[in-house]
Amino acid sequence: MSQPFRLMAIIFALFLQGRASLADDVVRLAIQKTGTVAWELDVAQSRGLAKAAGLDLQIETLATPEALKIALLGGKADIIVSDWLFVSRERAMGKKLKFYPYSSAVGAVMVPANSTIANIQDLKGRKLAVAGGPIDKSWLMMQAYAKKSGVDLKMQAQLLFGAPPLLQQKALQGEADAILNYWNFSAALRAHEFRTLLTMAQVETALGAKAPVAMLGYAFSSDFAKSHHDALNRFLQMTAQAKRILAGSPQIWAQIGPKIGAPDAATQAIFRTEYSAGIPHRPIPDEEKDAQVLYQVLADTGGARLVGSAPKLDPGTFYLQGPGS
């Protein structure tokens, strides 16, 4: 190769190397189509937040929470949203995952506005619809809370388990006296002349937490956190910015409202208020301390079926090197 061609080859190689260094960091996400994660990522992409953060978000939509967990554990996704129960249980089995708070919005017990039910004791003998299944976190905490008031909901209430949308319809049709459902469904019920009997935030503090706890969070492997530390923190900063935009923009809720069961401005305002209240603001160590308290409650109530062989929150579950730490 002649000297000029050799020089051109070197320059071209340096050019390609420079372009590669400017490439956005790839972050693979597995999410469910419906839910706040999808809303936030849409804001992050449509508002240019991902590009500004130097991130190439590769998003796969899956049908169920279990499918998300399989994608993460199988190396098909870098980040999912799950709970610290899942992360701690997997850590106890040798899979080094990490958890970073995502939302403290959990749900509530709702009753019709004209219902005579005034407190937890009034649920005895009533038909209570419970979203999820017998080992759903909110249901287990509700049982523990009720027992402090001398009520065994498992034995003294008529229980109806099912998927959140199905139970929502049954509640609206008068087929349940009360319903324990997730925050967005509870928000929608408020727009249909239902009132809040008890929020899960109240339950959590009654069970020993200092403040509402971020039950949901980003779950990712320790290896990903080490090898992509900077990209991960930029992702967390980007999503925090997307949350702030969602919390402060009635216009965005007007756009997504019809898709999420909030067709009118009044319902959208309820959704925005509930969503905003669930944005974590506390130091991560404070979240971790309260998670340890609630984990013990859940372990005592749900047993090995829920927590496996880990009777306590596994040390190191929370990611403490994030931008909010």
Q: What is the pLDDT of residues 60-88, one digit of tens each?
A: 999 888 999 999 999 999 999 999 999 99
pLDDT at 305: 86
Q: What's domain 3-103+213-307's superfamily in CATH?
A: Periplasmic binding protein-like II (3.40.190.10)
Kindly tell me the burial class for residue 53, based on how many C-beta atoms sit within 10 Å of its own C-beta (0-12, 13-18, 19 or more): buried
List C-alpha distances in Å: 147 to 44, 132, 316. Answer: 43, 20, 31
pLDDT at position 36 is: 87
What's the burial of 21, exposed, middle or buried (CB within 10 Å: 0-12/13-18/19+)?
exposed
Rounded distance, CA 177 to CA 200, Å?
Answer: 18
pTM for this model (two decimals): 0.88
* pLDDT lower than 50: segments of the chain: 4-5, 9, 12-13, 15-16, 18-21
| Predicted local confidence at residue 35, as pLDDT | 78
User: Which residues are CB-neighbours of 268 under 8 A, at least 6 positions away?
Assistant: 250, 253, 254, 257, 262
- Residue 186 has phi, psi (to 5 degrees) of -65, -40
CATH code for 107-206?
3.40.190.10
- pLDDT computed for residue 12 by the predictor: 44
What is the location of CATH 3.40.190.10 in the chain?
A: 3-103+213-307, 107-206
Q: What percentage of the chain reaches a pLDDT higher than 70?
A: 93
Q: What pLDDT score was predicted for residue 260?
A: 84
| The pLDDT value given to residue 21 | 46
pLDDT of residue 3: 57
Distance CA 247, CA 268 (A): 11
